[in-house]
Amino acid sequence: MSKKLAAEFIGTFWLVLGGCGSAVLAGVFLKDGVPVGIGLAGVSLAFGLTVLTMAYAIGHISGCHLNPAVTVGLWAGGRHPAAEVLPYVVAQVLGAIAGAFTLLVIASGQPGFEVASGLGANGFGAHSPGGYSLAAGFLIEVVMTLMFLVIILGATDRRAPAGFAPLAIGLGLTLIHLVTIPVTGTSVNPARSTGPALMVGDWALGQLWLFWVAPIIGALIAGYAYRWLGDEK
């Protein structure tokens, strides 16, 4: 169990450092006045690549959840023991906090950096990248987490082609970010949202509840629905 939890810590650390780091350090970047940042598409790909690489690195150790919603969804789908849900979630949140803290230290090395700018924190309303409402943010986080869990449950089904699950899951997360970054900055992962929110404080902590409630709802729906959908009877 200790090895599983260590793997989840490392994997979630990598997801936050790599994914949020791509947004904070490289999303919008000027070199001699010329834009060389990776933009929305690059940030979306970075998040997908963190999950893909960790799936191959630690999937055989812990299952590579890296996300409390994934753990809860897999439990609801009958794929994860109830006794391991809370320990997994704690390890994921701690990994996310470590990743966000590391990113904060790195980002602070640039003159003029202000943590209040967000550090990749998720938000709605005035803190949504596109100014989207609470209702829009809530709905898209539920639906996108639901679909993410359907991808995970389907790709890891024993009847699915072996060895390709990390590709499907990583590309699925990339697609989700391409769609939802303008709305909430994309969570679908309570741990990923918690790390940056704790570093930013203020508004980010005040809005953090949505990025726990909505993804968990979506994950539970997907888990129970896939029990029926994937039933061989």
Mean pLDDT of 203-208: 95
pLDDT in tens, 40-88: 999 999 999 999 999 999 999 999 999 999 999 999 999 999 999 999 9
CATH for 67: 1.20.1080.10
Q: Which domain holds residue 162?
A: 2-229
Q: How many domains does the chain have?
A: 1
pLDDT, position 233: 64
3-state secondary structure labels for all residues of the chain:
CHHHHHHHHHHHHHHHHHHHHHHHHHHCCEECCEECCCHHHHHHHHHHHHHHHHHHHHHHHHCCCCCHHHHHHHHHCCCCCHHHHHHHHHHHHHHHHHHHHHHHHHHCCCCCCCHHHCCCCCCCHHHCCCCCCHHHHHHHHHHHHHHHHHHHHHHCCCCCCCCCHHHHHHHHHHHHHHHHHHHHCCCCCHHHHHHHHHHHCHHHHHCCCHHHHHHHHHHHHHHHHHHHHCCCC
Tell me the whole-structure pTM to 2 decimals: 0.92
Interval 129-135 mean pLDDT: 95
- Report whether 184 contacts 114 (CB < 8 A): no
